[in-house]
Amino acid sequence: MAAQPQPRLTAEQYLEIERAAEFRHEYFNGRMYAMAGATYRHTKIISNFSRKLGNALEGRPCDVLTTDLRTRVSPEGLYTYPDIVVVCGEPRLLDKHADTLLNPVVIVEVLSPSTEGYDRGFKFAQYRTLESLLEYVLVSQTEPRVEVFRRQPGNEWLLSESVGMEAGCALHSIDCSVALADIYRKVIFDSAEPGATPSEVAAS
């Protein structure tokens, strides 16, 4: 006998299950998808970047939040956990649980081999539907490289790329810049990976 297809979940059912779950899941179009764990290097980059962003935005009406906060991209579409989000002004939250953000201004994703295609393709297409989003940032784990996609008039997106430890990553929507040397501080690249020369490895 053929297996019966699993019934699709509503967003409300997903949230009820997710809030009681031990591990995090994304949700899209009625389905839940388990999220993989992060490596030390992935987590270190997030920690470095979020700390420097927080320092740069201190005293301003913006908050830097990391992976534990869920973002709703659309009511019946994608619910996910970006690596870093920046929200400015009053945060809009889904409900009284205050665990689902609706209005990020900046989203940062640290790329990995298993998720790079997803982050560049499907997920970016979903993120572009967020009216609040002004910049989408992709951070490499294999070399000092950061790509910033900026929303332009007419809903077009312009790519700005920063490469090398001497470069800086400018975020125009929040008027700040973070040096790649700070984003990759104490991050050790594998010698076989592209761009990973000893001079580009941040000092401890």
Give 94-118 pLDDT, tens digit per residue: 999 999 999 999 999 999 988 899 9
Q: What is the pLDDT of residue 191?
A: 60
Q: Give yes or no for residue 59 having a pLDDT over 90.
A: yes
Give the confidence band of 195 by pLDDT, cuts at 50, 70, 90: very low
Q: With the C-alpha atoms ordered 81, 173, 117, 131, is the resulting torsion angle positive or negative?
A: positive
Question: How much is the CA Rg of the chain, to the nearest whole Å?
Answer: 18
For the chain, the domains span 38-200
CATH architecture of 38-200: Alpha-Beta Complex (3.90)
Instruction: Find out whether 33 and 98 touch, Cβ atoms under 8 Å.
Output: no
Give the confidence band of 2 by pLDDT, cuts at 50, 70, 90: very low
Calculate what percentage of the chain has a pLDDT beyond 70.
Answer: 90
Strand partners, 106: 86, 135
